[in-house]
Structure formats: C-alpha cells, structure tokens
Structure 1
Amino acid sequence: MSLNAIWTIYVFEMRRFFRTITQSFISPVLSTALYFVVFGAAIGSRIDEVEGVSYGAFIVPGLIMLSVMTQATTNASFGIYFPKFIGTIYELLSAPISFLEVVAGYVGAAATKALFIGIVILVTSFFFVDIQIAHPLAMIAFLVLTCVSFALLGFIIGIWAGNFEQLQLIPLLVITPLVFLGGSFYSITMLPPVWQTITLFNPVVYLISGFRWSFFGQADVGIGASLFAIALFTAICLAVIWWIFRTGWRIRQ
C-alpha cells in the first residue's frame, strides 16, 4: 500500500475543505446555538431532566451525531462524485494504486472533516450547558468510528449517484429522519412499549445510545450491542465498496 498515494488524495480533499473553513466553522456553531435555543430552551423548560441528566446536556450527543453522520456522508459522496462527474476518475483508476488507497484517501478526508465538525459542536455546547464526559476515550472512539463508517456510506452514495440531486437524497430523506427517530433528542424509554420495540430496528439508535453512554454512563441499549452495530455497518460498507471496485459498477460503465 502506497502511503504517498493516500496522502496525496487526502491533502487534495482537505485543501478544498480549508478553502471554505469560515463556512465550515461558523455554520455548525450557528446550527448548534439554534438547536439549543429551540430544544434546550423551549422544550427544556418543560422537561427538566431525562434519566437524571439535564435536558440541555442530554441532547448534546444527539446533536453531535446528527451533524457528524450527515457531514461525513455528504463530504465523502461529493468527494468521489465530482471526479466521476468531470471524468478525472478514469485517471485515478488508471494510476498504479489499489482501490484501498483510493478509499482510504477519500474516506479519511471526509471522516476528518466530520470529526472537526463534531469537535466544534462539542466545544460550542460547553458555552450553553454543563457537560461531564464520563468516558472520554470511549467518546473519541465512538466519534471516530461513526465518522469513518458514514464516510464509507457516503463513498458508496457518491459512486451510485447519477446527478447532484441524488447526492442529497440519502442524507436528507434517510439519514436525517433516522437520526431524529433514533433517540437523538429523547430517550426511547419515553416511548410506548410498542414503539420502543419498533425503534430498536433503527440502526442509528445503537450508535447514538453508545455515544451517549460515553458521556453519561447510561444508554438505551447495551454498549456491546452498540459496538456490534457499528462494526457490522462498517463491514457491510467495506464489502459493498470492494464489490464496486471488483465489478466496476458505476465507475467503469
């Protein structure tokens, strides 16, 4: 594996990110502040605590997950779709590098961008609520794993998409609703029993629950189930990407 090839792709993608660093920095800060005003102030005034945690602090992991999942997916999908759109992907495919190096470069850059956004939101939240992170190392691990796994998903979407509209289809119509319905702003234990059972079929529940456990030491589902869910999701994405490059689906056709 050529580290130089990975680094070249990674740096190229990161330069595009830093060209819009002001937008990349200000946008998540303003969005986080707005969520705290709407959810923390309006709804928080009616809900004092959730599972012994102030509502303002309780929604912080959900806010981070919402932004990280959408940003990782969007950045990775656009990163690989644009070369396909302008035709430079054929130069990339003809270069003496493996598909692992291509994926590592694009996915690594997208995951880094999403991680940056997640950290910005976390730091911003300290200005609004008092947060104590019970398991900081686990929090970082969950954040990195989520960034990587959803960047892999975004890479698949970028290969699949036939136009710019389709790039936004999955993040807007699938990922965002799943995050909102996955306990990002509430505990699933607050739902009626039948809806609790239905919600467990939402894979995002396990990611948010595990990430929230790293903050408060409590979760809606077991930490083992959360780790298994994210490992399974990552493995499926890797298998799909391997199949795409093996068959040339949507990249050589």
Structure 2
Amino acid sequence: MNLYGIRAIYLFEMARMRRTLMQSVASPVLSTALYFVVFGSAIGSHMVSIDGVSYGAFIVPGMIMLALLTQSISNASFGIYMPRFTGTIYEIHSAPISYVEIVLGYVGAAATKSILLGAIMLATARLCVPFQIEHPLWMVAFLVLTAVTFSLFGFIIGIWADGFEKLQIVPLMIVTPLTFLGGSFYSIDMLPPFWRTLSLFNPVVYLISGFRWSFYGVADVGLPLSLGMTALFLVLCMAGVRWIFRTGYRLKS
C-alpha cells in the first residue's frame, strides 16, 4: 500500500477545500440555516408534531442528508474531473500507485469534507431548533457510510462527465429532487397508499429514514432495510469504480 501516494492526493484535495471555504462550507451552511429558519421556525410553529417530534426538529436529519448527498457528489466528481480536464491524470497513472490507492485518496478526501460539513450543519441546526440524538453511534455510522457511498458515486460521475455542465446534471436534476421527495420535509406515512408505495422505490427514502431513526427512534422503514439499501448502493458504486479502472473508461483517451 503506497501510503505516501494516498496522503499526497488526500492532502491536495483537502487543501482545495481551504482555498474555497466560502463555496464549499459557508454557502451550504448558510442555505441550510435559511431552510431551518423558514421551515423550522416560521412554518413549523404552525404545524403539529410528526411522530411525536416537533416539525422543526423533524426536518433536521433530512436537511443534513440533503446537503451531505449533494456535497459528497460535488466534491468527489470535481476532484477527479479536474485532473482529467488539465491532463494531469496521466501523471497519476504513470506514478507507482494503484487504482485502489487513487480512489482512497480522492474519495477519502471528498468523504472527509462532507462529514466535516455535516458536523458543522448539525451544530448550526442546534442553534436554530432544539433536538436530541438518541443513537449517536448510529448517527455517526449513517453519516460516514452515506458520505463514502455518495463520494464513490460522485467519483463515477466525475469520470463519466465530459464537461462542467454534466458535473451538475445528476446532483441538480436527479439527487436533489429525489431527496426532496424522499421524506426530507415529511413522513411518507402521511402520503396516500399509492404515493407511499411509489416512494419506496426512491433509494433516498431509506437513507433519510435510517438517519432520522438515529435521532428520534422513529422511521418510515426498518433500520435493517435502511442499512441494507445503503450497503447495496455502496457495493454497486465499488463495482462501477472497479469496472472503470479495469476498462480504462474515459481515463486513457
């Protein structure tokens, strides 16, 4: 294992975060804080509790998960796309470093940035609405597992994209709508039977449900199912990355 190579990629990507603090940290934290103020305080004060949890507190896990998914994808996709765009990806290929070590460096840095952002947003939410975390270890586990999984997904998008526009297509056109429709602002139990059944085909439902359970002990689907779906997506992403490096898809041309 080339730890020096992994460390070099990891530190380079983390340094990019320090250079773009306003874009990578301040902007998502500010936008999420506005969600808490508008939905949690203004609208939440006129709504009844959901599953015994105040509305302002109920949306906290969903809002953190929304930011975590989008930032994990964005950090990882941009991190691997830039070496392809500038041509430095060939220097990485010629270095004595395996594809596993390359992925560990890029995905590890993207997941770290997302987890740090999630922690900052958790502290910010605490200033806006009161809430408790009943299962802190499970909360951390879901946070880390989701960050790693979607950083891998973002890595795949960064390889697939052949322009800056495509880097934003999946997060904006697919992930964000699925997150809003996945129970970020409501429980899917509140939906009519048809729409509730349809929502179960949305993979983000399982992420938000498991994460919310770690906070309040309530969930739309069972914890084992939430973990299983997240683990399944992780395995699929790992298989996708392995296929990319085995075939050289968009890496050797």
**Structure 1 residues 163-242: aligned runs within 5 Å:** 163-242=163-242
> Whole-Å Cα distance in 2 between the matches of residues 174 and 83 of structure 1?
25
Amino acid paired to 1:49: S
Percent of aligned pairs with the same amino acid: 64
Amino acid paired to 1:48: V
Q: Could you tell me the TM-score, scaled by structure 1's length?
A: 0.98
TM superposition shift of 1:45: 2.8
Question: CA contact under 8 A between 1:160 and 1:250: conserved in structure 2?
Answer: yes
> Whole-Å Cα distance in 1 between the matches of residues 214 and 227 of structure 2?
12
TM superposition shift of 1:131: 1.0
Question: CA contact under 8 A between 2:37 and 2:128: conserved in structure 1?
Answer: no
Q: Deviations over 1:78-131 (max 9, x none)?
A: 000000001000111111111000000000000011111111110001111111
The aligned residue for residue 132 of structure 2 is 132
Question: CA contact under 8 A between 2:61 and 2:211: conserved in structure 1?
Answer: yes
**Structure 1 residues 51-200: aligned runs within 5 Å:** 51-200=51-200
Matched residue of 1:57: which SS?
A: helix
> Whole-Å Cα distance in 1 between the matches of residues 116 and 172 of structure 2?
21
Matched residue of 2:73: which SS?
A: helix
> Whole-Å Cα distance in 2 between the matches of residues 45 and 136 of structure 1?
27
Question: CA contact under 8 A between 2:107 and 2:155: conserved in structure 1?
Answer: yes
> Whole-Å Cα distance in 1 between the matches of residues 89 and 24 of structure 2?
26
> Whole-Å Cα distance in 2 between the matches of residues 219 and 36 of structure 1?
21
Question: CA contact under 8 A between 1:136 and 1:215: conserved in structure 2?
Answer: yes
Matched residue of 2:183: which SS?
A: coil
> Whole-Å Cα distance in 1 between the matches of residues 246 and 20 of structure 2?
35
Q: Deviations over 1:32-64 (max 9, x none)?
A: 221012211333133120110000000000010
Aligned residues: 253
Q: Deviations over 1:201-225 (max 9, x none)?
A: 0000000000000000111000000
> Whole-Å Cα distance in 2 between the matches of residues 51 and 32 of structure 1?
23
Q: Could you tell me the TM-score, scaled by structure 2's length?
A: 0.98
> Whole-Å Cα distance in 2 between the matches of residues 23 and 239 of structure 1?
31
> Whole-Å Cα distance in 2 between the matches of residues 86 and 23 of structure 1?
21
The aligned residue for residue 20 of structure 2 is 20
TM superposition shift of 1:29: 2.9
Question: CA contact under 8 A between 1:72 and 1:151: conserved in structure 2?
Answer: yes
The aligned residue for residue 42 of structure 2 is 42
> Whole-Å Cα distance in 1 between the matches of residues 28 and 175 of structure 2?
18
Amino acid paired to 2:147: C
> Whole-Å Cα distance in 2 between the matches of residues 20 and 247 of structure 1?
34
Amino acid paired to 1:168: Q
Question: CA contact under 8 A between 1:28 and 1:120: conserved in structure 2?
Answer: no
The aligned residue for residue 32 of structure 1 is 32
> Whole-Å Cα distance in 1 between the matches of residues 91 and 24 of structure 2?
29
CA RMSD of aligned residues (A): 1.0
Runs of 4+ in 1 over 3 A off after TM superposition: 22-25
